[in-house]
Structure 1
Amino acid sequence: MRPDQYDEAADAAALRARLRHVYWIGGGSGAGKSTITRRIASRHGLHVYSTDETMADHAGRSTPADAPYLSRFMTMDMDERWVNRSPEIMLETFHWFRGEGFGLIVEDLLRLPAETGVVVEGFRLLPHLVKPLLAAQDHAVWLLPTPEFRRTAFDGRGWEIPRKTSNPELARHNLLERDRMFTDRLFEETKRLELPVIEVDTAMNEAELVGRVTRAFGL
């Protein structure tokens, strides 16, 4: 092993050690990540870090050089984003799905007090980016909703994005299809990396899901 490789390995080990108090809940949109995180954090005295709530801040801290997909996305109007492009292109070019800004999530987590455990949640927690940060495999889980569960979740809470376009029905279809493909990708990636998954379907209630995630974390 070359000296520079040793240094990289040592840095990775040091980073995992600094993040050993962090629990990660990733997954597809509409899986209930935010709700489950808040309940578990409240029950066990943990801090909550929502990656959804940091998106605007991270966009402001990013540059076109380190986030080119985000930079392009910001120039689009709502129809360009959600109506005029195919779900396949939307999937491949969506900046958060590309991992842009993930380093800022890590920066934020490293600034939090290590004395208190943290539950970080959001679809931005891509398996291949999270795995190198895990001091223990049972500190991460991905919630992957079935298409029926995701559709029911979105119908129940409404969806602002489609209503801001000229064709809400097509925008909604495109978003659901994009998110279905993203969830399929998460299934494949978590399986390949041997990371824990909980499939969320309409037969599962909130209390059951909280229990399963809690057991997965060994809390």
Structure 2
Amino acid sequence: MSIFWVGGPAAAGKTTVSRLFARKYGFLWYSVDAHAFDHEKRAAAAGLHVLGTGPGDFDRRPMIMEDIQSVRTSVVVEGAFVTPQMAGVAENAVWLMPSKEEQRARLQHRNPDTNHEGYIWGWDLIRSQLKDTNATIIPVDGQSIDQTLKAVEHAFSAILEPRHIHDTK
């Protein structure tokens, strides 16, 4: 079993691309963002977080690993909470990064009448976490979903089993 980590800010295409990637290769898709409240409750129960105070900065990796421990297939773990500290910066982790302008445009398209500044702050946070690392960053400005999926596949090609690559051609 392999774990493929996909991070990035809101509107980078993480969920769409990760779900397509997982489906294409027969892997399990795991959304860290979808488990955020459960992770908060578990962290609060362990005394690591005060419930209701926001997403927190506790380490979600042990909870993710616990959640997927019985899975017998590879897993694509994605979300805005996927950090270089959590995933590492090895060949099994990528970050999809739009420019701020692209992120604003995507957020505006997604929700036209919403203030998106909180998401823009998240862009700054993720970018600062990636700075001075060897993380694989995939710029997504102007890319279609298919182009981004191909870039993710290329980034993971060294660890995808040869039979998977052959089966999908």
> Per the shorter chain, which TM-score range?
0.7 to 0.9
Measure the CA separation in 2 of the matches of 1:173 and 1:140.
26
Q: After TM superposition, what 4+ stretches of structure 1 lie above 3 angstroms from structure 2?
A: 99-102
1:173 Cα deviation after fit = 5.1
Q: 3-state DSSP class of the match of 1:111?
A: coil
Shift of 1:123: 1.2
Cα distance in 2 for residues equivalent to 1:26 and 1:59: 19
Structure 2 unaligned regions, length at least 5 = 161-169
Query: What code does the residue aligned with 1:61 have?
Result: R
Select which of 87, 99, 102 maps to 1:146.
Answer: 99
The 5 A counterparts of 1:62-141 are 62-63=43-44, 65-68=47-50, 71=51, 73=53, 95=56, 98-113=57-72, 116-131=73-88, 137-141=90-94
Count of aligned positions:
157
Which of 19, 25, 30 pairs up with 1:38?
19
Partner of residue 163, structure 2: none
The AA in structure 2 aligned to 1:128 is Q
Aligned mates of 1:186, 1:206 — CA distance in 2: 25
TM-score using structure 2 length: 0.81
User: After superposition, what is the alpha-carbon deviation per residue over 1:102-151, rounded to whole angstroms, capped at 9, x for unaligned?
Assistant: 321121122322xx1111101111102221xx7xx221111112112211
Deviations 1:188-218 (A, max 9, x none): 1xxx2312111221x2111110000001000
Percent of residue pairs bearing the same amino acid type: 27
Contact 1:50 / 1:121 at 8 angstroms: preserved in 2?
yes
TM-score, normalised to structure 1, is: 0.64
Report how far residue 58 of structure 1 moved.
1.6
Return 137-146 or 104-113, whichever deviates more.
104-113
Query: Which of the two has greater helix per residue?
Result: 1
Kindly state the Cα deviation for residue 159 of structure 1 after the two structures are TM-superposed. Answer: 7.3
**Would you say the 8 A contact 1:47–1:118 is kept in 2?**
yes
* Aligned partner letter, 1:73: T
Q: 2:149 aligns with which of 204, 210, 213?
A: 210
Q: Is the 8 A contact 1:27 1:186 kept in 2?
A: no
